[in-house]
Amino acid sequence: MGRSFHDMIEYLSANYDRMPLGSQIQIVILTIQHIFYPILAIIGVPVNLLTIVILSQRKCGLSKCVTRYLTAMAVMDLLVLIFDLILRHIPVVFWEGFLFLYSVPVCNIHAVLVYAATDCSVWFTVTFTFDRFVAICCQKLKTKYCTERTAALVLGTVTVLSFSKNIFWYFMLTGWYVLVNDPWFCRITLEAQKSEAWGAIEFLHCILTPGIPFILILLLNALTIRHILMTSRARRRLRAHRSGESPRDTEMESRRKSIILIFVISANFMLLWAVFMTKFREEMKTVVMYPFTRIINFIK
């Protein structure tokens, strides 16, 4: 693997100026992946494990409901690192060291685990954002919804739905690896290549993850910010008319901490999925243009 990376660096330095722009970008991205992916795995796995251990001890001053969500998110992020980064992307980048995978017919099972864990990670973020929206903006519903039992029920439901939704990858893909991501890392069945239904399923997959979550997180955060700003102005006016009131507002401090936590998680989600939302737009164009393409081909 080290020799392969060294050869690529030498090839890049010797031929970079003579390459087309697309090839230049591709080689640079591959070079970054050779460095970034191992570092991400070395740091990401122990950090998520440590996060899970710390949250499990429940000594962070967080509510049981929030702790449940954050622990579940850390677990799913760890599984994504293992199934997607370590067992998929790293073997694709360092393919010369993983040729033995060609003889291991479990790629379709691997695909189900990858996409199910990814769906869980994404939708856990959505459900946590909604939980905090209810806690901050819907005080009457807060006592019934923002509980550890509800969080466990929601997380369990999302997990079951995510794995059920991604079972179709088992039948669309074969058990054999190809060690590339163009577009999938498994060989596609002959039926899937010829069937138009599989194209619709792939498009639906892109809508559900990350299309709809992207929109929901933006909407919920916007509504939460609006509520906090309106509440803050009202509380300042009310406290200004009271004499001898403590200048410290513990309620607003609690809400401020909650919103910081939500924004950190949401911003991380947006940044990680921004590139794929570019892919989502391309898939959308393909689907919209599909009927016109068929008509033109029929006329020809």
Cis peptide leading into residue 38 (ω within 30°): no
Cα separation, 9 vs 35, whole angstroms: 12
pLDDT at 34: 86
CATH 1.20.1070.10 for domain 2-235+250-299: yes
In 3D space, the residue among 136, 6, 127, 8 whose CA is nearest the CA of residue 69 turns out to be 127
In 3D space, the residue among 272, 76, 82 whose CA is nearest the CA of residue 159 turns out to be 76
- What values do phi and psi take at 245, rounded to 5? -75, 140
pLDDT 10s digit of each residue in the chain, 300 long? 455 666 666 666 666 667 777 777 777 777 888 888 999 999 999 999 999 999 988 888 888 999 999 999 999 999 999 999 999 999 998 888 899 999 999 999 999 999 999 999 999 999 999 998 998 888 889 989 999 999 999 999 999 999 999 999 999 999 999 988 777 899 999 888 888 788 788 878 878 887 888 889 889 988 888 887 787 777 667 766 665 555 566 666 666 776 777 777 766 666 666 555 575 455 555 655 666 666 666 666
- Dihedral (Cα; 109, 111, 114, 116), 10-degree rounding: -80
Dihedral class, residue 187 (left if φ above 0, else alpha if ψ from -120 to 50, else beta): beta
Report helix, strand or coil for 243.
Answer: coil
For helices 64-80 and 107-137, the axis angle rounded to 10 degrees is 160
In 3D space, the residue among 104, 106, 216, 111 whose CA is nearest the CA of residue 163 turns out to be 111
What residues does 177 pair with on adjacent strands?
186
- Please identify which residue in the block is written with the tokens 């890049």: 12
Query: Do 280 and 203 meet the contact criterion of CB atoms below 8 Å apart?
Result: no
Dihedral sign of CA atoms 203, 164, 48, 39 in order: negative
Percent helix, strand and coil across the chain, each to the nearest 5:
85, 5, 15
Report helix, strand or coil for 58.
Answer: coil
